[in-house]
A and B are shown apart, each in its own frame.
Chain A
Amino acid sequence: GENVEQHPSTLSVQEGDSAVIKCTYSDSASNYFPWYKQELGKGPQLIIDIRSNVGEKKDQRIAVTLNKTAKHFSLHITETQPEDSAVYFCAASLNYGGSQGNLIFGKGTKLSVKP
Chain B
Amino acid sequence: NAGVTQTPKFRVLKTGQSMTLLCAQDMNHEYMYWYRQDPGMGLRLIHYSVGEGTTAKGEVPDGYNVSRLKKQNFLLGLESAAPSQTSVYFCATSGRHLSSYNEQFFGPGTRLTVL
Report which A residues bind B (CB closer than 8 A): 6, 9, 32, 34, 36, 41-46, 49, 51, 89, 95-100, 102-108
CA distance A107 to B33 in the complex (A): 18
Question: Known contacts A43-B90, A43-B107; is A103 also within 8 Å of B40 by CB?
Answer: no
Question: Known contacts A43-B107, A98-B100; is A107 also within 8 Å of B41 by CB?
Answer: yes
CA distance A98 to B90 in the complex (A): 25
Min CB–CB distance A105 → chain B (angstroms): 4
Min CB–CB distance A61 → chain B (angstroms): 20
Question: In chain A, what residue has the closest Cβ to B102?
Answer: A100
Using a Cβ–Cβ cut-off of 8 Å, how many residues does chain B contribute to the interface with A? Answer: 26
- List residues of chain A with CB within 8 A of the CB of B61: none
Do B42 and A100 touch across chains, with their CB atoms under 8 A apart? no
**Partner of A106 from B31, B42, B92, B98 at Cβ < 8 Å:** B42
Min CB–CB distance B65 → chain A (angstroms): 18
Question: In chain A, what residue has the closest Cβ to B4?
Answer: A43
Do B104 and A46 touch across chains, with their CB atoms under 8 A apart? yes
Do B90 and A100 touch across chains, with their CB atoms under 8 A apart? no
**Partner of B106 from A43, A51, A97, A104 at Cβ < 8 Å:** A43
Report which B residues bind A (CB closer than 8 A): 4, 31, 33, 40-45, 48, 58-59, 90, 92, 94, 96, 98, 100-104, 106-109
Min CB–CB distance B39 → chain A (angstroms): 9
CA distance A43 to B43 in the complex (A): 11
Do A89 and B102 touch across chains, with their CB atoms under 8 A apart? no
Question: Known contacts A42-B108, A43-B106; is A98 also within 8 Å of B98 by CB?
Answer: yes
**Partner of B100 from A45, A96, A108 at Cβ < 8 Å:** A96
Q: Which 7 pairs of residues, A with B, have the shortest CB-CB distance? A: A43-B106, A95-B100, A107-B42, A105-B43, A105-B42, A46-B103, A44-B106
- List residues of chain A with CB within 8 A of the CB of B103: 34, 46, 49
Do B58 and A9 touch across chains, with their CB atoms under 8 A apart? no
**Partner of A103 from B41, B45, B100 at Cβ < 8 Å:** B45
Do B101 and A44 touch across chains, with their CB atoms under 8 A apart? no
